[in-house]
Amino acid sequence: MADAPFLAYGRQVIEDDDLAAVAQALRADFLTTGPRVAQFEAAFAEKVGARHAIACSNGTAALHLAMLGLGVGPGDVVIAPTLTFAATANCARYQGAEVVFADVDPDTGLMTADTLAEAMTRIGGRPLKAVLPVHLNGHAADLPALKRVAEAAGAPLVEDAAHAVGTAMTFDNVPERVGDCRHSALTCFSFHPVKTLTTGEGGMVTTNDDALAQRVARLRSHGIVREPADFVDPEIGFDGEAPNPWAYEQQALGYNYRLPDVLCALGLSQLAKLDRFVERRRQLAQRYNELLPALAPLVRPVAQPWTSRSALHLFVVLIDFTAAGQTRRQVMEALRAKGIGTQVHYIPVHRQPYYRALYGEQTLSGAEAYYARCLSLPLQAGMADGDVDRVVGALGEVLGG
């Protein structure tokens, strides 16, 4: 096995039809702000079951656009789980809002109704503008339960679904899909290369609210309005009653968060294969689940909530490093020496120096317990079953050594 290829924890799957789609887009008239953007948005909205989808430059931009769309600003509070990537909290800070970090379940890493309710006790009378549940590792959070708690405080949910494109779930015997926004105002996706489908860099916001969709779409491109019916300055917009063909109005302070046509072409090609990619990830996860009991009790997979049929962006195990007599660094380095890449998802955001300086020291025990044990093993749609056997075998050797 010495010459076996290195297995990263995550990697894109790019096939010949993806290359052909990008090449065709490169030969087209529009490399950006052209027809493939609308095509990708329409196809994605249909796939997840939302009324609207707005493509943008990356997942962080999607989250920021969600905050902009909801009018989050100075003096407001949002609640986000601390067990996530920093962007979930940063998107509110960009707007001058404060972040209250919720703890998570120590075994799943997910924010729960109880941890959300506890976080609400630390708001201190400030207005709660939004709650941002994270579908960690691709596993769906309990949206109905979270919505009940958030709604009682007058706050909408904004789903951080960066890990969860393709995830399905069942609540009250009703099949749903992450992104359909049945319980949330907006859902935000990422198409980074390690995600289940990729556009290189890219993101998407979905919503069922017509006004929110229009606002997010305009803020994605400098807050510019091009529809004559919505112009507010007749001198700029019209020659008599006829609209000026060059006219546009900047009606708000927006950003350049556009996703180019060439990347939307890749997204369309990848989206057509999403079900295959998700099914393959589930098959690989099943193989892990068949083999990992041999390493118990030192190692156990993070369990999926029973409501979630996860797209499995990550395959995470919880390891008792103390009982193994090794640090996580030692385990990761030993695995890397065997050609296996691993990663840690995530350092709790409340422990990051920026947020510690802002809010002081905090103790969130569930997140700390999860972080202390978690390790992301390789999971890619292009992996073979034998690759899983190789990972589990190497992990057993490292922990047994």
Residues involved in catalysis: 195
Retrieve residue 307's tokens.
Answer: 């409501």
**Considering just the CA atoms, what is the radius of gyration of the chain in Å?**
22
Tell me how far apart the alpha carbons of residues 165 and 244 are, in angstroms, rounded to a whole number: 41
H or E, element range at 56 = strand 52-56
Helical spans, DSSP H, in 189-346 = 210-219, 234-237, 261-271, 274-291, 321-324, 328-337
CB atoms within 10 A of CB 352: 16
What lies within 8 Å, CB to CB, of 101 at 6+ separation is: 79, 80, 81, 82, 89, 119, 348, 349, 350, 355, 359, 362, 364
| Secondary structure (H, E, C), 325-346 | CCCHHHHHHHHHHCCECCECCC
Q: Quote the DSSP letter at residue 350.
A: G
Q: What are phi and psi of 318, to 5 degrees?
A: -105, 125
Question: How far is it, in rounded angstroms, from Cα 394 to Cα 339?
Answer: 9
Q: Are 129 and 97 a contacting pair, CB within 8 Å?
A: yes
3-state secondary structure of 62: helix
Q: How far apart, in Å, are the Cα atoms of 168 and each of 105, 111, 176, 188, 309?
A: 20, 18, 6, 15, 5
Contact yes or no for 44/271 (Cβ under 8 A): yes
